[in-house]
């Protein structure tokens, strides 16, 4: 699999999108207090991104406990966070398709019940980032990530992976597994990749849960549907959600375009284990990774 290095003169936009995504991630972590609604946290994260001149690259994912990924609230979601919930805050921002993807995990209420799960993914992310080098094997990162998680007596989730990122493509061709032995790819200088360890006290596999509120266009709509064309122009093939499609004509267009859309199921830990996640978007440099998703 060959990647797509980002030309040096385009890097400023990628760095700016990444700073905004990191700020949004930190905001989400701060807002994850007992009694807070996930819908309100998602709206605050997405407003933060827009106020800084970027667009959300996907709906704020606020998956909790045994939900591993792809939970975003809809307009009707009034459910509140409880003390001890393990909340993943996975956010994305893009500027003209330059995408940043970053995540952290917080134990709601600030207790230490799940501290080992949170520490495991922080350690795995740091180890994974240190293992990135241009021309180096992707498998080095997988081995480092899995090793750090096993050292905490936990399991990496083998069917969720990091990924390369290209303009307007969140999951480009290269996967970065969280267990070794699955990839024979190598990193390329200038590539943008997301390193994304997941740790669990369950089985280390995911199962598809119910279909959630995240969708994306599989392909462009027919040219004669102007309203649907406008929606495609806004989101291209990046994931979006019904919360962002507000006017009756837009909603009707989305209904007409149903067959063009892919709906994401919520991913659940197969054995019902708790799941923690941490993620940075990095640029592959000659001597190692540059972490882009830092807030300042
Ligand atoms: Co990601």
Dist. CA 248 → ligand 1 center (Å): 32
Please say if 280 is a catalytic residue. no
Instruction: List the one residue out of 214, 202, 216, 219 whose CA is nearest residue 265.
Output: 214
Dist. CA 170 → ligand 1 center (Å): 7
Please say if 225 is a catalytic residue. no
Per-residue b/e over 234-243, b at no fewer than 16 CB within 10 Å? ebbebbbbbb
Please say if 74 is a catalytic residue. no
Please say if 9 is a catalytic residue. no
**Cβ(214)–Cβ(169) under 8 Å?**
no
pLDDT score at 4: 79
| 78-93 mean pLDDT | 98
Per-residue model confidence as pLDDT tens digits over 37-47:
999 999 999 99
Residue of 90, 188, 191, 269 marked active site: 90
What's the rounded Cα separation, in Å, for the pair 136 and 124? 18
Dist. CA 226 → ligand 1 center (Å): 31
What's the rounded Cα separation, in Å, for the pair 188 and 123? 24
pLDDT score at 5: 86
pLDDT score at 215: 97
Token pair 């509120």 is found at: 213
Dist. CA 197 → ligand 1 center (Å): 9
Please say if 171 is a catalytic residue. yes
Per-residue model confidence as pLDDT tens digits over 192-244:
999 999 999 999 999 999 999 999 999 999 999 999 999 999 999 999 999 99
Residue of 77, 171, 203, 250 marked active site: 171
Indicate if the pLDDT at residue 3 is higher than 80.
no
At 25, list the tokens.
């991630």
Dist. CA 129 → ligand 1 center (Å): 14
Residue of 46, 55, 101, 166 marked active site: 101
pLDDT score at 261: 96
At 193, list the tokens.
């990749």
Residue of 196, 213, 269, 280 marked active site: 196
Indicate if the pLDDT at residue 2 is higher than 60.
no
Strands (E), 5-117: 55-61, 67-69, 86-95, 98-107
Please say if 135 is a catalytic residue. no
Per-residue model confidence as pLDDT tens digits over 24-39:
999 999 999 999 999 9
Indicate if the pLDDT at residue 133 is higher than 70.
yes
134 — pLDDT class (breaks 50, 70, 90): very high
At 288, list the tokens.
């190692």
What's the rounded Cα separation, in Å, for the pair 36 and 7? 42
pLDDT score at 246: 92
Dist. CA 102 → ligand 1 center (Å): 7
pLDDT score at 8: 85
Indicate if the pLDDT at residue 136 is higher than 80.
yes
Q: May I ask the CATH class of domain 8-214+266-291?
A: alpha beta
Per-residue model confidence as pLDDT tens digits over 249-281:
999 999 999 999 999 999 999 999 999 999 999
Indicate if the pLDDT at residue 296 is higher than 90.
no
- Compute the mean pLDDT over every residue in the chain, rounded to the nearest whole number: 96
């Amino acid at each position: 699999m060959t990647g797509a290095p980002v030309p040096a003169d385009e890097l400023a936009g990628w760095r700016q999108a990444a700073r905004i995504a990191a700020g949004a991630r930190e905001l989400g972590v701060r807002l994850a207090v007992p009694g807070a609604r996930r819908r309100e946290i998602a709206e605050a994260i997405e407003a933060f991104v827009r106020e800084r001149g970027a667009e959300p690259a996907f709906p704020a994912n606020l998956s909790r406990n045994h939900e591993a990924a792809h939970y975003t609230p809809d307009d009707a979601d009034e459910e509140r966070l409880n003390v001890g919930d393990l909340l993943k805050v996975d956010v994305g921002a893009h500027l003209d398709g330059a995408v940043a993807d970053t995540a952290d995990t917080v134990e709601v209420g600030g207790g230490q019940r799940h501290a080992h799960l949170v520490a495991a993914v922080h350690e795995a992310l740091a180890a994974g980032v240190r293992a990135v080098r241009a021309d180096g094997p992707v498998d080095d990162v997988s081995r480092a990530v899995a090793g750090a998680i096993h050292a905490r007596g936990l399991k990496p989730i083998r069917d969720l992976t990091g990924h390369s990122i290209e303009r307007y493509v969140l999951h480009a061709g290269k996967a970065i597994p969280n267990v070794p032995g699955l990839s024979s790819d190598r990193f390329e200088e200038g590539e943008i990749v997301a390193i994304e360890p997941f740790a669990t006290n369950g089985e280390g596999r995911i199962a598809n849960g119910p279909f959630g509120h995240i969708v994306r266009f599989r392909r462009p709509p027919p040219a004669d549907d102007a309203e649907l064309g406008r929606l495609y122009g806004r989101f291209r093939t990046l994931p979006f959600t019904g919360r962002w499609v507000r006017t009756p004509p837009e909603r009707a267009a989305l209904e007409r375009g149903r067959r063009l859309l892919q709906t994401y199921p919520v991913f659940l830990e197969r054995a019902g284990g708790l799941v923690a996640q941490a993620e940075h978007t990095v640029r592959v440099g000659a001597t190692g990774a540059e972490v882009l998703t830092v807030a300042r």
